[in-house]
Amino acid sequence: MTIATTLAQNLIEKLRKTNDKVAGYIFAGDIDIDTNQMVARAQKEQREFASWPEDRINAMLKDIAETVAEKAEELAAATVVETKMGIVADKVMKIRFASLDVFKALSGQTAAGFSPIPRRELSKSLARWSCFRHDPGDQSGIHNCIQNIDLFKRTQCLDFKLSSRCSGVGTKTCDLIREVLERHGAPKDLIQTVLLRSSRQKTIMFMNHPGVSLILATGGTSMVKAAYSSGTPAIGVGPGNAPVLICADADITKAAQNVVVGKSFDNGIICGSENNLIVVSQVHDEFVKR
């Protein structure tokens, strides 16, 4: 009886999830008032932000990076409490890297118009997109949100639909960024979060909205497929689970140490950590010993 009851409960839960998915696709064309209002605010704010000079944008991004980095320990601890995943000290490193180091890589780069590519008779367009939709799938919470500061240089507005597992710390981070926007006289609705209850249907509403110009979908395969099937330009990042090849001429000792460090960092929840190893037969035994 216990087994039968458990199986029945499991089946009911699966049916409920399936119904939610089907409903999301059936009603994909129905965009609610809240979604329309968010996109309208984003489009309005982008028109004001479009004329900002590069030095003003750089100053604001620097302030954002420094503000988030200063709160790294607080945000990391809050992430572990909310998601029950990861290691606080490792998350502090991730947050500081994704804010300060990402900004350093962007500082001084052109954010709009055309920029020459060295050693090529080409130029690349650095378009300013009208609205940006992001659905973080990294259950560690905060880090995808922070890492998309780099896209701020090339986008007008960021609309974040946060994972339900990290909505608290994610919203807190977005609020920090919005405070910086206000300090610099920028429209605070350049950054928005979906405050109402998150759902698959809500996600599809944003993906299909005519005012959304780009989707960045990270997380499960179904999320990425939905983004690419929406008809809106999309960048999709599915599960990592990276295989690692240990070549015959590799530094065996260093490679083994790096694998251990990489896989254990933040309890191995980073999708780019080493998921499995492929070791060339010539060095297999020696590598295992290490």
Catalytic amino acids? 271
Contact residues for 207 (Cβ-Cβ < 8 A; gap 6+):
133, 215, 226, 227, 230, 232, 234
Task: Give whole-number Cα distances, 190 to 80, 160, 176, 186, 203, in Å.
Answer: 28, 11, 13, 8, 19
CB distance 143 to 91 below 8 Å:
yes
216's tokens: 């960045």
- Angle, alpha carbons 233-237-242 (nearest 5°): 155
Instruction: Using DSSP, state whether 165 is helix, strand or coil.
Output: coil
Letter for the amino acid at 73?
E
Q: In 3D, which of 68, 201, 75 has the Cα closest to residue 147?
A: 68
263's tokens: 């896989």
